[in-house]
Structure 1
Amino acid sequence: MQAIIATLGYVLSPSHDEVLMIRRDTRPDDLHYGKYNGLGGKLSPDEDVVTGMRREITEEAGISADRVDLAGTISWPGFGRNGENWFGFLFRVPEWSGTPLDGNDEGSLHWMPVKDVLAGEVPMWESDRHFLPLVFADSPTVFHGVMPFAAGRAVSWSYSA
């Protein structure tokens, strides 16, 4: 399978009860418009996934990711606007330095209570609710999932840990 390789990071507050999320609200043609998401993006050809995750966090939030913990991987066949396959490396970012920006050219940044994210009270991809409990688990285990998409919606979810 050919896929776009990406990172997705969840920057935690010092108390770990909030997560820094982007609300994609600057471009109405954005596939993610109006949704909250973690920080991240496509990997550059010359970088490893940790370097790419750190770069994306610096670009999107203006902070340095001092520690990144692999939460898991997800294969998203058919996720892209034109049915492209995506493969993502998901990270928790429990240690960082600097002062987060208020936003960037993709959207505004907000500290969201993790409990609200897990309870489905934050507008995001409906499918994120399947894997976010694994990302924010009290005793996390690295997971590897597959979430096929069709017509803009997840059609199934499976994973192993």
Structure 2
Amino acid sequence: MQAIIATLGYVLSPSRDQVLMVRRDTRPDDLHYGKYNGLGGKLEPDEDVVSGLRREIHEEAGLDCTTVDLAGTISWPGFGRGGANWFGFVFRVPAWTGTPPAGNDEGSLHWVPVADVLAGQVPMWESDRHFLPLVFADSPTVFHGVMPFADGKALSWSFVS
């Protein structure tokens, strides 16, 4: 399978009870328009995944990651425009420096209570609700999952840890 390689990072507040998320609200034609998401994006050809995550978070939030923890990986076959396959490395970012701006080219940035994210009180991809409990678990273990998509909807979710 050929896939777009990407990173997805969840920057935690010092107390770890909030997470920095982007509300994708700048481009109405955005596949993610109106949804909250972690920070990240496509890997550049000359990058390892941690360098790519650090670059994306710096570009999107002006933060420098001092600690990153791999939460897991997810294969998203059929997720992208035109049914493109994506493969993501999902990270927790518990330590960082800097001050995030109010927003970026993709949308506004918000500190959101982790409890609200897990309770489904934040507009996001419904499919994110399957893996976010693994990302924010009290005693997390690294997971590896697959979530096939068709017509913009997840068909299933399975993982091993």
Q: TM-score, normalised by structure 1?
A: 1.00
Partner of 1:62: 62
Partner of 1:88: 88
Structure 1 counterpart of 2:21, one-letter code? M
C-alpha separation in 1, matches of 2:125 and 2:3? 20
Partner of 1:27: 27
Deviations 1:79-128 (A, max 9, x none): 00110000000000000001111100100000000000000000000000
Report the aligned-residue RMSD.
0.3
Where 1:55 maps in the other structure, the secondary structure is: helix
Residues 118-137 of structure 1 correspond to what in structure 2 (within 5 A)? Answer: 118-137=118-137
Structure 2 counterpart of 1:148, one-letter code? P
Residues 11-160 of structure 1 correspond to what in structure 2 (within 5 A)? Answer: 11-160=11-160
Structure 2 counterpart of 1:72, one-letter code? G
Structure 1 counterpart of 2:96, one-letter code? W
Q: Note the residue ranges of structure 2 that are not aligned, 5 or more in a row.
A: none
Identity of aligned residues (%): 83
Where 1:139 maps in the other structure, the secondary structure is: coil
C-alpha separation in 1, matches of 2:116 and 2:10? 14
Structure 1 counterpart of 2:145, one-letter code? G
C-alpha separation in 1, matches of 2:120 and 2:141? 22
C-alpha separation in 1, matches of 2:21 and 2:146? 23
Paired residues in the alignment total: 161
Partner of 2:3: 3
C-alpha separation in 1, matches of 2:102 and 2:55? 18
Q: TM-score, normalised by structure 2?
A: 1.00
After TM superposition, the runs of 4+ consecutive aligned structure 1 residues lying more than 2 A away are: none
Structure 1 counterpart of 2:88, one-letter code? G
Where 1:104 maps in the other structure, the secondary structure is: coil
C-alpha separation in 2, matches of 1:101 and 1:46? 28
Q: Note the residue ranges of structure 1 that are not aligned, 5 or more in a row.
A: none
